Amino acid sequence: MTFQNTREYAQNLDAQDELKTYRDEFIFPQHNGKNVIYFTGNSLGLQPKRAKSYVDEVMNDWANLAVEGHFYAEKPWWDYQERFANPLSKIVGANPSEVAVMNTLTINLHLLMVSFYRPTASRYKIICEEKAFPSDQYMFQSQVIHHGFNPSETIIEIKRREGEHNIRLEDILSKIEEVGDELALVLFGGVNYYTGQVFDMKTITEAGHKVGANVGFDLAHAAGNIKLELHEWNVDFAAWCSYKYMNSGPGNVSGCFVHEKHHQTNLPRFAGWWGHNKERRFKMEPNFDPVHGADGWQVSNLPILSLAPYLASVDMFAEIGMEKLIQKRNQITSYLEFVLHEIDKEVDSTFEIITPSNQEERACQLSVFLHGEGRSLFDYLMKNGVITDWREPNVIRLAPVPLYTSYEDMFEFGQILKKGILANVK
């Protein structure tokens, strides 16, 4: 497609957009009486308007039924989480029994590592990406220390080559092969939070299994954003937050995946009563009998008020389907990339897109390194109604979420960016 950097062209794309009506399903912060241009759905998605009715339903049931809401609410609380199984399984490419909702992201990764990081004296090392999200780094360190190992000898970070912004797949695969029999676990982000690079999870999983390691993924920036086939890829486990691309609200509940090949095994886990045999849960038996499937990793009863807005968003995803979301994601991200390059030529600036240009290696985020520009440009954007994200040393992250960003947003952002750069020059 040959793009044009004009308002009329952008408006034309919006008129043809099959998902354009979903923009009206979200509440935008306002700037001078207009919707902001919102690029931070990779940190916190906008609030769906329908979320309030889902939460109100729970509040009304609590008011009118109190404890009886567990069994007699319109959506009974004791099995509320089961409503996620079918729609979530389609979002992450799993069987319904392989997904569950519970806790928050890092808690779930810790709980899953109890089952899937079982180090021995000879097989104990972990491979992850350089510059993983800090919470993952802290998790690795604390898990390794808990097992009595030295993090500096145990955690192997795959680094970017000198002068490059992204990690090469061949470097990941060669390191997995090199560590070989000492490798206990490969745990990568599905999408790197800093650069927006999408990793080849299928190939990484195959390589990890070939040397006898378990393989898992932190899908914080992947779930609801990219095509996932966790079951077919034979991934052992994964977890994701729900408040980025799936718009469930700040710090909200997490999802997790456990491949069905592990459902009948005696993998160790930290148990709790909500993971106990559902039919016998209220008999208060002394010995743990896990629910079949990923639900068997649940510990406590679920926070229904947190699940309600997540269910509202998941239902929206079910209406649309990931295929249509990805189709628009690819086009609107490409259009944003085009606009950035056009502005770069107009102002003779030196900013650089460090996210891969190959659509197979990126999703909904473009990370832009502001060579020659500084924090003042970011501040200018924020003061002029562009909500974006700053990462040290000099990067802004732009996420044109297909559910609620428009092509005209992309054009308008380019005009504001150009004014900001010229204002700094002056």
- Say if CB 79 and CB 58 are below 8 A apart: no
Tell whether 345 is covered by a domain: yes
CA dihedral 327, 328, 329, 333 (to 10 degrees): 120
Across the chain, mean pLDDT equals 95
Same structural domain, 235 and 263: yes
Residue 370 pLDDT greater than 90, yes or no: no
Same structural domain, 24 and 155: no
Tell me how far apart the alpha carbons of residues 408 and 400 are, in angstroms, rounded to a whole number.
Answer: 11
Length of the chain equals: 426
Tell me how far apart the alpha carbons of residues 67 and 71 are, in angstroms, rounded to a whole number.
Answer: 8
pLDDT of 426 reads 47
Same structural domain, 151 and 189: yes
Tell whether 48 is covered by a domain: no
Helix (H) / strand (E) containing 237: strand 237-241
2 CB neighbour count, 10 Å cutoff: 5
Same structural domain, 109 and 239: yes
Q: Which of 272, 302, 320 is the C-terminal boundary of a domain?
A: 320
Same structural domain, 86 and 214: yes
Collect all residues with Cβ–Cβ distance below 8 Å to 375 and sequence separation of at least 6. 390
Q: What is the mean pLDDT of residues 292-307?
A: 94
- Say if CB 381 and CB 388 are below 8 A apart: yes
pLDDT in tens, 208-237: 999 999 999 999 999 999 999 999 999 999
Confidence tier at 372 by pLDDT (50, 70, 90)? low
Residue at token pair 């297909």: 402
> Which residue from 412, 413, 333, 408 is spatially nearest to 367, judged by alpha carbons?
333
Residue ranges making up the domain that contains 28: 7-35+321-425
Tell whether 246 is covered by a domain: yes
Tell whether 252 is covered by a domain: yes
Same structural domain, 109 and 120: yes
Q: What is the mean pLDDT of residues 123-141?
A: 93
Q: Which of 264, 296, 320 is the C-terminal boundary of a domain?
A: 320
* Lowest-confidence segment of 47-56, 129-138, 311-320 by average pLDDT: 129-138
Which CATH number do you get for residue 129? 3.40.640.10
* Lowest-confidence segment of 14-23, 98-107, 364-373 by average pLDDT: 364-373
Tell me how far apart the alpha carbons of residues 141 and 154 are, in angstroms, rounded to a whole number.
Answer: 9
Same structural domain, 112 and 206: yes
The CA-based angle 108-111-112, given to 5 degrees, is: 85
Which CATH number do you get for residue 329? 3.90.1150.10
Total domains in the chain come to 2
Same structural domain, 193 and 275: yes
Collect all residues with Cβ–Cβ distance below 8 Å to 302 and sequence separation of at least 6. 77, 80, 81, 101, 102, 253, 274
> Which residue from 42, 91, 87 is spatially nearest to 405, judged by alpha carbons?
42
Tell whether 44 is covered by a domain: no
Same structural domain, 219 and 314: yes
Strands 37-38 and 386-387: parallel
Tell whether 168 is covered by a domain: yes
pLDDT in tens, 179-205: 999 999 999 999 999 999 999 999 999
Q: Which of 272, 299, 320 is the C-terminal boundary of a domain?
A: 320
pLDDT of 425 reads 52
pLDDT in tens, 44-62: 999 999 999 999 999 999 9
Tell me how far apart the alpha carbons of residues 202 and 215 are, in angstroms, rounded to a whole number.
Answer: 10
Task: Collect contacts of 57-63 with beta carbons under 8 A, ≥24 apart.
Answer: 57/308, 58/304, 58/305, 58/308, 59/305
The token duo for 292 is 């079949």
Same structural domain, 23 and 58: no
Tell whether 40 is covered by a domain: no
Tell whether 89 is covered by a domain: yes
Residue 95 pLDDT greater than 80, yes or no: yes
Same structural domain, 31 and 59: no
Residue at token pair 């440009």: 377
Compute the half-sphere exposure of residue 155: CA atoms within 13 Å on the CB side of its CA: 23
Tell me how far apart the alpha carbons of residues 418 and 425 are, in angstroms, rounded to a whole number.
Answer: 11
Same structural domain, 109 and 257: yes
